[in-house]
Structure 1
Amino acid sequence: MYKAILLSIGTPTTLGIYYEDMSPNEDKLNKASLKEAVYTDKADNESTLENKAPKLIFILRIDGKTSDVLPLLFVSHSLDKKTTYTSLESLLTPEVLSKCSLAECLIDSSFLKENKEIKHILETLSIKDSIDSTYSNQTNSANRPNCIDKGANLENLDTKHNIYFNEKIDSKTNIDFIKLDCSLTKALYLLSYFMPLNAIYYSRGVGSLSAIKLTHVFLHTLALSSDIKIYATNSFYFSQTNEIKAFANMSFYLKPDSKHVVITDSNVKDYIHIAPSNINASNINDSLDLSTLFLPYRLIHDDFLESCTPLYVTPAV
């Protein structure tokens, strides 16, 4: 079963695919963990259950306007297993592809080794991988006994691929993401393998006002037209700082020590405000700086409890 996290608040648009093992053995293990939870401390319970949460196995980042990128994701979602790569090529004309470009396509090496069908697709499409882009799990081994939180120092993160670890990781954990050398069309075809998705978790803002509105329409259309559930949180859940670039020389700021607060329309001004930016203050263009946004390694359902409506700090245009 596959779920996704969508970060579509500016460019690049990032989609992370998460795998949830629903095999009989895993299901028994989950039930055993829940039963054992009655006899253990709450902190240990949460750690055990988080380690069973869906794991990040595929990352796709696409440069381009949100209005051009989201239709491409819809095309991938609509493909069935019988659709050939040539059929997809005929849909994605040069004019369509000229508006977007592939920023990055990554796949978890362990998942790739265990999945013969994915291997076959890579071979069929002549997609090569670049081993030198992997993240070594030997780094920062001293920090592994601790739960790495969203506010962790960057030395504890996979800064190369913008991933943070929201679970306890020990020395046996092997985390290697392989960069795939391919075209955008091939990456979208590979993405279609993980469809249909069971659920999409996303950032409802803050960010580009137009991107937030388009994402809202896109996801609600998808939810109504297919059997997909949607869940939301705010952009600061994915940020390693309390600042996200807004427009011109301004930034959105989150009130200190407010990382786990559920933002609502009624309390948003208590926690988020706009002020002059500390990020590239000399750069007064309207592009968002999304370099501080990280995907979580585990998808924790209970972290997405906010309303599935656009989060506006400034009035919507």
Structure 2
Amino acid sequence: MIDIFIISISNPLLIGIYKENNLLEEIKIEGKTSDVLPVIISEVLKKYENISGLYFVNSPGSYMAIKVAYIFLKTLSIAKDIPLYASNGFNFNNNSPIKALGKKYFIKENDTIKVDFLDNDTKIHDFKLPNSLNKELFSKNTLPIYNLPAV
């Protein structure tokens, strides 16, 4: 069985194709999630059969990318009867701060996410698809999580 994992909260968009939890193919593509995700997933669905799970990052990061990915994947999940799962982005960038608004970043400390400026010596890690998909990091609670107060 094949699983698809999508990290859409930053550029490039990352899509991992997993067979028996092992990374089979990695797709990196620059662009807006709304433009590239449907095209790439359409190609993936033509290439791979027996998709058993859809996985994505639902927090924190680009709100628009999170919303687009959620709506697209939820629709696909319902239409194709494929389970959908979500995890937070800190699991895939070494718990590094994630860009928020302006010069502020989402920072995870002791299971709490705050928004703040970075210290000058803070190192930012890129998102990375894991070589092995740890399904214990994911939940069936897939609604986007917005970590900023309403403006």
TM-score range normalised by the length of the shorter chain: 0.7 to 0.9
Relative to structure 1, is the Cα distance of residues 77 and 244 closer, same or farther in structure 2, using a 3 angstrom cutoff? Answer: same
Counterpart among 120, 136, 148 of residue 302 in structure 1: 136
Counterpart among 45, 70, 73 of residue 219 in structure 1: 73
**Which residue of structure 2 lines up, in the alignment, with residue 3 of structure 1?**
3
Letter paired with 1:246: A
Letter paired with 1:67: S
Following superposition, the deviation at residue 292 of structure 1 comes to 2.3
Relative to structure 1, is the Cα distance of residues 237 and 295 closer, same or farther in structure 2, using a 3 angstrom cutoff? Answer: same
Task: Provide structure 2 residue ranges, at least 5 long, that are not aligned to the other structure.
Answer: none
More strand as a share of residues = 2
CA shift digits 1:31-59 (9 cap, x unpaired): xxxxxxxxxxxxxxxxxxxxxxx111210
Relative to structure 1, is the Cα distance of residues 71 and 272 closer, same or farther in structure 2, using a 3 angstrom cutoff? Answer: same
**Which residue of structure 1 lines up, in the alignment, with residue 109 of structure 2?**
255
What TM-score do the two structures reach when normalised by structure 1? 0.44
Following superposition, the deviation at residue 10 of structure 1 comes to 2.4
Following superposition, the deviation at residue 201 of structure 1 comes to 1.2
| Partner Cα separation in structure 2 for residue 310 and residue 278 of structure 1 | 28
Greater Rg over alpha carbons, structure: 1
Counterpart among 18, 21, 24 of residue 57 in structure 1: 24
Letter paired with 2:74: H
| Partner Cα separation in structure 2 for residue 73 and residue 196 of structure 1 | 17
| Partner Cα separation in structure 2 for residue 76 and residue 196 of structure 1 | 14
More helix as a share of residues = 1
| Partner Cα separation in structure 2 for residue 17 and residue 206 of structure 1 | 22
Following superposition, the deviation at residue 216 of structure 1 comes to 0.9
Secondary structure of the 1:225 match is helix
State whether structure 2 residue 43 is matched by structure 1 residue 76.
yes
> Is the CA contact (8 Å cut-off) linking 1:251 and 1:277 kept in structure 2?
yes
**Which residue of structure 1 lines up, in the alignment, with residue 12 of structure 2?**
12
> How many pairs were matched up?
150
Secondary structure of the 1:73 match is helix
CA RMSD in angstroms comes to: 2.3
Following superposition, the deviation at residue 195 of structure 1 comes to 3.8
**Which residue of structure 2 lines up, in the alignment, with residue 228 of structure 1?**
82
Secondary structure of the 1:64 match is coil
State whether structure 2 residue 114 is matched by structure 1 residue 273.
yes
**Which residue of structure 2 lines up, in the alignment, with residue 245 of structure 1?**
99
Following superposition, the deviation at residue 274 of structure 1 comes to 0.4
Following superposition, the deviation at residue 228 of structure 1 comes to 1.2
Relative to structure 1, is the Cα distance of residues 279 and 207 closer, same or farther in structure 2, using a 3 angstrom cutoff? Answer: farther
5 Å-filtered alignment, 1:116-265, equals 193-256=47-110, 258=111
> Is the CA contact (8 Å cut-off) linking 2:84 and 2:140 kept in structure 1?
no
What TM-score do the two structures reach when normalised by structure 2? 0.87
| Partner Cα separation in structure 2 for residue 291 and residue 196 of structure 1 | 33
Letter paired with 1:249: K
Following superposition, the deviation at residue 222 of structure 1 comes to 0.3
**Which residue of structure 2 lines up, in the alignment, with residue 189 of structure 1?**
none
Following superposition, the deviation at residue 244 of structure 1 comes to 1.2
| Partner Cα separation in structure 1 for residue 48 and residue 120 of structure 2 | 36
| Partner Cα separation in structure 1 for residue 83 and residue 121 of structure 2 | 37
| Partner Cα separation in structure 2 for residue 58 and residue 252 of structure 1 | 29
> Is the CA contact (8 Å cut-off) linking 1:201 and 1:230 kept in structure 2?
yes
Secondary structure of the 2:126 match is coil
Following superposition, the deviation at residue 78 of structure 1 comes to 4.9
> Is the CA contact (8 Å cut-off) linking 1:3 and 1:18 kept in structure 2?
yes
Identity %: 33
Off by >6 Å, runs of 4+ in structure 1: none
> Is the CA contact (8 Å cut-off) linking 1:209 and 1:316 kept in structure 2?
no
